[in-house]
Structure formats: structure tokens, C-alpha cells
Amino acid sequence: MSSRSVAGAVALITGAASGMGKATAEVFAAEGAHVAVTDLSAETSEPVVAAIRAAGGSAEAWPLDVSDPSAIEAVVAAVAQRFGRLDIVVNNAGISAFCPIDHPEYDTVWTRALGVLLTSHQRIIRAALPHLRKSDHPRIVNIASTEALGATSRDSPYSAAKAGVTGLTRALAVELGPEGITVNCICPGPILTGMTANVPDDDKQTYARRRTALRRYGRPEEVAHMTLSLCLPAASYITGVTIPVDGGLMARNA
Ligand code: NAI
């Protein structure tokens, strides 16, 4: 029977110093995975690593700016070298990219959004591929957004990048499926993370009551548990899917 454990697997998570990436690192480590905690700087990742180790888990920090192609190659190689394998990639790092279409800086915001939120995914997957090919249960999870499925005004660079993530997920699921590598995508709804920290509490409550079925923002670990589920050896026949983890936001009309 297929295992429902990631114990012993090696997982590389981007943007893992905060929010959903941090929760994902913690959940995977608690389940016995070795976690490569990567984020812009090692200083911000170290507290995550320290907390995981204090709880008896295995983790190590690497600085990784996902918009830097040479850093991606170096860090993926270093992680595989350090742990002797790489089984799981979680493309999670992200930034906001609000910008009206007629703004003079639109093209700059667009280029940055696509670079961090979409191009990085294919680069990390390409760097990880030789290692994933050696894994018994190779898994890729890309974090998109409900903005990939519906849109908010003045958020088109972000929306386009996230929609690109869903397309990339499907295309690579089809391309890598013959090798047993699964590629899936999660679309979080409104989640309590660094990205939404500056939204006033009242606005959060109003939005959640009006838009979600569950009438609340989600917690980062509620997304992390879906990521874990998609990475289990037992999740061997799920690929190419886009799963909203959104408190019923996409399901709700009124
Ligand atoms: P967060 O701001 O708490 O965490 C994002 C992390 O990504 C930070 O630690 C940041 O340093 C890192 N990061 C930013 N640029 C980077 C780069 N160039 N290279 C490496 N790391 C970088 O935000 P959150 O919410 O945990 O974001 C995680 C993912 O979830 C993102 O892809 C975001 O777009 C997505 N998301 C978030 C939602 C929310 O409501 N919070 C909703 C839907 C999707």
C-alpha cells in the first residue's frame, strides 16, 4: 500500500521564511521530511530552521532569490548535495503586484511579477528535474492564487502571472507524467500571512464575510496541509490539478 508519510523525503520550499512557506516547512518537518528552507536572506530563514530543530525536525536554511537564475541552480545543487536527494519542490515565494494598466510603471511591475511568480517556477523545476527523476515519489506543488481563477481590479500583473502558474502546472503534469512526476497547483484564497498583514482587521472581516463560504480568512497551515497531501507517496494518481484552498470563495456567488 502507498505510504501516507513524507518521512525521509527532502523538500525544497521557496519563500519559506514567512506565511504559507513557513507553515509548509513546519508541517513537512513535523511529518519527518528534511526541509530546505529558502528565502531572500538566510537571516529571515534561520528562525524557522531553529524552531523546526527545537521541535525535533530536520531543516537547513539557504538564501535564494527566485528571480536569480544562477542562484536557483546553485541552491538546488547544494540542497541535493547536502541531503543526498531531492524529492519535493514547493514553488511558493511571492510578492504583491497591484498596478493599474495605465500606470507609467506598469511594464516594470509586470516584468517583476512574471519573474518572481511564474518564470521562477519553471527555472526551479528545470534545476530540480535531474534529482526528481531519481526520486521514488517525485512531487511538485506550485502555489498560485484565486486571482488565477477570478480577478481583482488593478491586479492584472499578479493575476496574469498566477494564471500562468496554472497553465505551467497542467503542461508540465502532461510532459512529466510518463516519468511519474506529479505537478499540481494550489490556489489559496485570503490567508493571514505577511502579504495580507497590512489589510486592517475590519476590512479583512468584512471581505471574508462577504466573499467566503466559511466567513473568515484562512490560516497558513490550512494551505500547508493541502500541499503536504499532494506530496504524499499515496497521492500518486493526482496530477495537473488546480485546487482552491479558499474557504469556499470561488464556490460562492452570494
Ligand atoms: P508572505 O509575504 O508571508 O511570504 C512570502 C515570502 O516570499 C516572504 O518570506 C518573502 O521574503 C518571499 N519572497 C518574496 N520575493 C522573493 C524572491 N524574489 N525570492 C525568494 N523569496 C521571495 O506571503 P504568503 O501569503 O505566505 O505568500 C506565499 C504565496 O502565496 C505567494 O506566492 C502568494 O502570491 C500566494 N498567495 C497568497 C495569498 C494570501 O492571501 N496571503 C492568497 C493567494 C496566494
Which of 20, 26, 98, 199 gets mutated to test ligand 1 (max ligand atoms within 8 A of its CB)? 20
147-200 pLDDT tens trace:
999 999 999 999 999 999 999 999 999 999 999 999 999 999 999 999 999 999
pLDDT tops 80 at residue 64 = yes
Ligand 1 centre from 5 Cα, in Å?
Answer: 26
Mean pLDDT of the chain: 98
Ligand 1 mean position to 1 CA, how many Å?
35
pLDDT band at 234 (very low <50, low <70, confident <90, very high): very high
Ligand 1 pocket, mutate which of 193, 196, 199, 222 (most atoms under 8 A from CB): 193
**Centre of ligand 1 from the C-alpha of residue 137, in Å:** 26
Ligand 1 centroid – CA 178 distance (Å): 31
Spatial separation of the C-alpha atoms in residues 209 and 197, rounded to whole Å: 18
Q: How confident is the model at residue 51 (pLDDT cuts 50, 70, 90)?
A: very high
Residue 62 has pLDDT above 80, yes or no: yes
pLDDT tens digit string along 90-125? 999 999 999 999 999 999 999 999 999 999 999 999
- The per-residue pLDDT for 202 is 98
C-alpha cell at 50: 531553529
Q: How many CA atoms lie within 13 A of 227 on its CB side?
A: 31
Domains of the chain: 10-242 (3.40.50.720)
pTM, entire model: 0.99
Is residue 6's pLDDT more than 80? Answer: yes
Check residue 186 and give left, alpha or beta (phi > 0: left; psi -120 to 50: alpha).
beta
What average pLDDT score do residues 223-241 get? Answer: 98
Per-residue CA distances from 170 to 47, 63, 213, 239 (Å): 35, 29, 27, 8
Residues marked as catalytic: 158
Q: What is the mean pLDDT of residues 198-224?
A: 98
Residue 1 predicted with pLDDT over 80? no
Cell of 193: 500571512
The DSSP line for the chain is ---S--TT-EEEESSTTSHHHHHHHHHHHHTT-EEEEEES-HHHHHHHHHHHHHTT-EEEEEE--TT-HHHHHHHHHHHHHHHS---EEEE---------TT-TTHHHHHHHHHIIIIIHHHHHHHHHHHHHTT-SS-EEEEE--GGGTS--TT-HHHHHHHHHHHHHHHHHHHHHGGGT-EEEEEEE-SB-SGGGTTS-HHHHHHHHHHH-SSSSPBPHHHHHHHHHHHHSTT-TT--S-EEEESTTTTT---
pLDDT score of 2 more than 90: no
Q: Give residue ranges with CB within 6 A of ligand 1.
A: 14-15, 17-21, 39-40, 64-67, 92-95, 116, 143, 145, 188, 190-191, 193-196
CB 172 within 8 A of CB 183: yes
Average pLDDT over residues 214-228: 98
* Average pLDDT for 118-146: 99
